[in-house]
Amino acid sequence: MNNFVFVLDTNRQPLKPCTPKRARQLLNSNKAAVFRQYPFVIILNQSVAPISSCLELRLEPGSKFTGFALVNPNNQVIWAMELEHRGQQISEDLTKRAGFRRSRRSRKTRYRQKRFNRSKPYGWLAPSLMHRVQTVETWIKRICRYSPVSVITIEKVKFDTQKLENPDIQGVEYQQGTLAGYTVREALLEHWGRQCAYCGVKDVPLQVEHIKPKSKGGTNRFSNLTLACQCCNQAKGNLAVGEFLKDKPEVNARLKKQTSQCLKDAACLNSTRDKLFEVISESTKLPIQAGSGALAKLIRSKSNLPKAHWIDAGCNSLNEQPITLLTKQPLIVKCKGHGNRQSRRCNARGFPAITSIKIDASTGKKIVNYIKPKTVYTHAQTGDIVQVTIDSNRKHVLAGNYKARVKTPTRSGVEVVINGHRVSSKVL
């Protein structure tokens, strides 16, 4: 069972969504035309009597995924979607940009000095967090444009991060963190028994080590830190702890037992909870209801449904009535972005990609290739939507005219992505 199809009348007013079979009949009889491909929307060739808003849009916000579900008055899910965010990629790009900025300052080149005493405005969120709010807002307005939505229900989550880490915490203990009375190194020495966590060696200089590497999303929280000798620290590098300790399953099990769960996702939802309600209320002007995660779990168990983001969104209701799924194939949306928050390219190790060094396997000599700086051409810029022509079949792309978004401007034309393949062509 596929998603229902959005329907617009000839005046572009949203109507009640129809089944895919009914949409094919309207298209084959020339009573409707395709208005939009993604999400799929058809537009009628004649005007019809307007209908009142009758659908409920339900959301299950998450740190990495957000579920959407359209529910009719009979408590049936007729359309669903899963949105995958790219907050981690934005955070990594900002970290690289900060590294480039610090390297320019340390080279004693002509560059602006550091600026201090700058304060953030009230309600400011980091770009990786604000991205989640803005993408959810964009899709809510898009869905309301193509369907008669009368109310929006959002699961308002609230996590007690300290209680998640220590269920027995109470009273004044909330004001005392993990490092109360200790420095980071002293607390780590006490926690890990003053020995290397990987090989168990003692009485040697120990280094602070990230269990989950920062290059793969690890944090500086105490639960992600351990102690390692210099040999183990260099041998591990940025490998996952399971991969590094694949020959030592007992040590790997001990590390997982002593480390607590990562609360990065819970902190993200706590930070964006109120901002999401505020932004959606101002942009849609529709009544917004706050759902509960416990009630959604109860409805999902009553409906005998598996756990998924879009199913949790459909179960996010204020009553305890079970739901029925009229679709089992949600729309999958992945945020790609139109650019990268850095002024220059970098190599795999995060350094500016001014040169690329390769070693010749036969001679063993280094081959240095100088990379030309990025050139911006005025006829098209990255992110513009242009119409291009493909003369012959190239890279599994059929010949013809296409509308696509510019990825890289070139001297003779542009480089666009068609059907997942990069193709260079001229702009019509």
Residue 129 domain-assigned?
Answer: no
Residue 99 domain-assigned?
Answer: no
27 and 42 in contact (C-beta within 8 Å)?
A: yes
| Angstrom distance (rounded) from CA 351 to CA 112 | 21
- Tell which of 218, 246, 262 closes a domain: 262
pLDDT score for 373: 46
Residue 401 domain-assigned?
Answer: yes
- Tell which of 206, 228, 262 closes a domain: 262
Number of domains in the chain: 3
Residue 248 domain-assigned?
Answer: yes
Q: What is the reported pTM?
A: 0.70
Q: Summarize pLDDT for 200-214 with one digit per residue, the tens.
A: 888 888 888 888 888
Residue 162 domain-assigned?
Answer: no
Dihedral of alpha carbons 316, 322, 324, 325, sign? positive
End-to-end CA distance of the chain, in Å?
40
Q: What percent of the chain has pLDDT over 70?
A: 82
In a 13 Å sphere around the CA of 2, the CA atoms on its Cβ side amount to: 13
Q: pLDDT band for position 304 (50/70/90)?
A: very high
Residue 228 domain-assigned?
Answer: yes
Residue 220 domain-assigned?
Answer: yes
Q: Summarize pLDDT for 71-82 with one digit per residue, the tens.
A: 999 999 999 999
Q: Which residue has the tokens 């596929």?
A: 2
Residue 12 domain-assigned?
Answer: yes
Q: What is the CATH number of the domain that holds 252?
A: 1.10.30
Structural domain containing residue 238: 182-262
Report, as an integer, the average pLDDT of 93-111. 72
Q: Summarize pLDDT for 349-359 with one digit per residue, the tens.
A: 555 565 556 66
Q: Summarize pLDDT for 373-428 with one digit per residue, the tens.
A: 444 455 677 777 888 877 766 656 777 888 888 877 777 778 887 777 777 777 65
Q: Is the pLDDT of residue 343 over 60?
A: no
